[in-house]
Amino acid sequence: MKLIFLGPPGAGKGTQAQRIEETFSIPQLSTGDMLRAAVAAETAVGLQAKDIMARGDLVPDEVVVGIISDRIEQDDCANGFILDGFPRNVAQAEALDVMLSEKSISLDAVIELAVDPEVLIGRILKRAEESVDGPRQDDTEEALQHRLQVYEKQTAPVADFYAGKGILRTLDGMQEMDEVTAQIKAALQEI
């Protein structure tokens, strides 16, 4: 099963991806983790990313797609994968589509967790207060508002892109974690 999880910051994508990873025995792929692993492994794409990151620049889409391309060829992705945090914009979705098409791979579903932004901010601020490690630097109301605006402008259109392909499943991310997991599993059973 090849999946993408979409949703604004704090919607629970990572938590739900971990749960689905365990249920379906497919790895959750985080682009940040993949970048660091490719750099550490000194792959050709990893070395390219290392130089870019060392300069403090953002890694271009084609490099990130190259890292995803390398990663999904590993044995643990034979039964599928979950992309969490990518694509972040329509250009990345298009580049991902081209790469997957070249490998004769098609996505089974894109799971979008729909949430109320105001409730989401309260949820994230509460999480920050309860965190054993202390709040993240970007867990302030001002930073969260900005992150949500960036999401709406850049990432939300990705949902329309995949809706046009007929593979978007928008679910209610405002439910309790177990209920959201049940909704995702039910949606995946229909595929």
Catalytic positions are 13, 88, 127, 136, 147
CA-CA distance, 161 to 34, in Å (whole number)?
Answer: 24
Q: Angle between the 156-163 and 90-102 helix axes, to the nearest 10 degrees?
A: 40
- 147 within 8 A of 89, measured Cβ to Cβ: no
- 59 within 8 A of 47, measured Cβ to Cβ: no
CA-CA distance, 156 to 6, in Å (whole number)?
Answer: 8
User: What six digits make up the tokens of 98?
Assistant: 């081209």
User: Collapsing DSSP states into helix, strand and coil, what is residue 9?
Assistant: coil
